[in-house]
Amino acid sequence: SLMSYILVVWLVVMEIMYFMETKFTYKFTPDATFTEKLKINVDITVAMPCK
């Protein structure tokens, strides 16, 4: 019982520490191929009554 409580507290503390030290890195590179056309997908839903 006491060991379970200690384990849960330790796991919660470790998860919070892991969350706080995580850093996101983003890398953006321009598209060098100007000959390709931009592909755009459109998904349309029309609300119509059933007849």
User: 20-45, pLDDT tens digit by residue?
Assistant: 887 888 888 887 777 777 788 999 99
Closest by CA position to 39, among listed 47, 31, 29, 28? 31
Question: The whole model's pTM is what?
Answer: 0.44
User: Which tokens hold the place of 31?
Assistant: 């598209």
Cα–Cα distance for residue pair 33/47, rounded to 1 Å = 39
Give the number of domains in the chain: 1
Neighbours of 42 (CB within 10 A): 4
DSSP state of 36: S
Predicted pLDDT of residue 47: 86
Domain containing residue 39: 1-51
The model's confidence at residue 51, banded by pLDDT at 50, 70 and 90, is confident
**Which position has the higher pLDDT, 23 or 15?**
15
Main-chain phi, psi angles of 8, to 5 degrees: -65, -45
pLDDT above 90: residue 16: yes
